[in-house]
Amino acid sequence: MRRSKCCLRIGTRGSDLALVQTEQVLQILRERWPHYTYEVVKIKTTGDKVRNLALPRIGGKGLFTKELEIALLEGKIDLAVHSLKDLPTELPEELCVGAVLPREHPGDVLVSLTGAGLEDLPERARIGTSSLRRQAQLKAVRPDLNFVSLRGNVPTRLRKLERGECEAIVLAWAGLKRLGLDLTRRMTLLSYKVCLPAVAQGAIGVEIRKEDRKLRKMLEALDDPTTRLEVTAERAFLRWLGGGCHVPIAALARVAGTEILLEGLVADPEGRRIIRGQESGPTAYPEEVGIRLAERLLQEGAEELLRG
């Protein structure tokens, strides 16, 4: 199916957060290329359809992105907007990340009805999250905590908290911010020492076909260089570890001048072992920094955690 000359079809999931993120991309495109028309195409992904199972049970990568990539490959859409943390580090050969938008604060927040921080939560409090990364790191600090699987989009998870299904939930700050949910009195930002973010958390990625040269050129204007460097190092780290969704992996890169600093960890889901380290290197070689840290952590015990 060929697109008409000046219409761009933008694929997105149908969740509130995905639509807000897509609107963010659209706003920039409309400002830069007002003579184009834009069509938003909502696409249901496996992760949207299978909502009653914890993600590791569904397994596989690209639960929230595969159908969007198929639509790109079939020419049904021209761009796919993703939360970059949901996009697998290995893309189909014909596709690429054409732009990453300026990153929101990548941290995780603890949301509770009382605003209690992690240290204030009652003994054996129930924490709602399906993320093994969040579970492992919080258990390392509070081994008494209980974790209840919490699927669904951000508003759904907040409703489960309000219904008393748990004492607190953990969400990405970026999702709350983009949805305009001001939970100031009910949330505490978790320090990176306590909870290192998911790879590329807080970043929005726009995926396109590599052959679409004109669109690749257009998207250069949307691409944020600092975010691009950070997520490139973080995604190289994750790719080199070969981690699936069954092993908690976290990483965060920061650019300081001409240096990129990367911190990363691999943990066991119970938080009893956390292999953690840092690497730095020139911003000219962000992938190498990610690979170097992955290699080091593998040798320091992460290999055992990953291969089970």
Stretch that binds ligand PBG, among 114-122, 169-177, 221-229, 271-279 (CB under 6 A): 169-177
State the helix-helix crossing angle for 286-297 and 225-241, rounded to 10 degrees.
Answer: 30
Total residues at the site for ligand PBG (CB under 6 A)? 12
Q: Binding string, 22-51, against ligand PBG, x = CB under 6 A?
A: ------------------------------
Stretches 89-97, 167-175, 224-232, 238-246: which one binds ligand PBG (CB under 6 A)? 167-175
With contact defined as beta carbons under 8 Å apart, do 168 and 148 qualify?
no
Query: What mask of x and - would describe binding to ligand PBG in positions 208 to 227, judged by CB under 6 A?
Result: --------------------
Q: C-beta of 285: minimal distance to ligand PBG in Å?
A: 25
Residue holding tokens 């509130």?
16
3-class state of residue 34 by DSSP: coil
Q: Is 223 a catalytic residue?
A: no
Residue 173's Cβ-side half-sphere holds a number of Cα atoms within 13 Å equal to 19
Cβ–Cβ < 8 Å for 258, 282: yes
Q: In DSSP terms, which residues pair with 244 in a beta bridge?
A: none
Q: Which of 16, 48, 78, 86 is catalytic?
A: 86
64 touches ligand PBG (CB under 6 A): yes
DSSP string, 62-109: -TTTHHHHHHHHTTS-SEEEEEGGGS-SS--TTEEEEEEPPPPP--EE
Q: Which of 67, 86, 212, 230 binds ligand PBG (CB under 6 A)?
A: 86
Spatial distance between the Cα atoms of 308 and 302, rounded to a whole number of angstroms: 10
For residue 201, state whether it binds ligand PBG (rule: CB under 6 A): yes
* Beta carbon of residue 220, minimum distance to ligand PBG (angstroms, whole number): 21
Query: Given the complex with ligand PBG, which of 107 and 281 has the nearer CB atom?
Result: 107
Q: Does 186 bind ligand PBG (CB under 6 A)?
A: no
Q: Is residue 83 involved in binding ligand PBG (CB under 6 A)?
A: yes
Say how many CA atoms lie within 13 Å of 158 toward its Cβ. Answer: 15
Active-site residues, by number, are: 86
Please report, as ranges, the residues that interact with ligand PBG according to CB under 6 A. 64, 83, 85-86, 154, 171-172, 174-175, 201-203
